[in-house]
Amino acid sequence: LAKTTQPISMDSYEGQEVNITCSHNNIATNDYITWYQQFPSQGPRFIIQGYKTKVTNEVASLFIPADRKSSTLSLPRVSLSDTAVYYCLVQGLGTDKLIFGTGTRLQVFP
């Protein structure tokens, strides 16, 4: 099972771009990467998902290099409301491969 490693915490200021990197060295061929955001006392919320190269949606971008051993979540121009814990998840096609890491606690300052 692919284990993920993320920084425990990051600080940023409003308006800055934030990049959170996740390492997943033993990712399998059929695995893909998903990022979730979680606010205190709430369930995680889906942000973005991808298999390789770059994926972009209205909230974030996800960069995955060719070897797929890491991925980077990019949040453009963060605001105070982006203060949350961000989880990287490597998923297989089966439901038994759902292991969340410890997450990255992002603190955005004014």
> Least distance from C-beta 15 to other proteins, angstroms?
28
Cα–Cα separations (whole angstroms), residue 82 to 44, 48, 54, 79, 106: 13, 15, 21, 5, 8
> Least distance from C-beta 5 to other proteins, angstroms?
12
> Least distance from C-beta 38 to other proteins, angstroms?
8
Residues lying near other proteins in the complex (CB under 8 A) are found at 32, 34, 36, 41-46, 49, 51, 87, 91, 93, 95-96, 98-103
Of residues 84 and 110, the one with the C-beta less far from other proteins = 84
Of residues 14 and 88, the one with the C-beta less far from other proteins = 88
- Residues whose CB falls within 8 Å of the CB of residue 12, separated by 6 or more in sequence, listed in order: 18, 78, 106, 107, 108, 109
Of residues 31 and 82, the one with the C-beta less far from other proteins = 31
Q: What is the dihedral of CA 78, 41, 20, 66, to 10 degrees?
A: -120
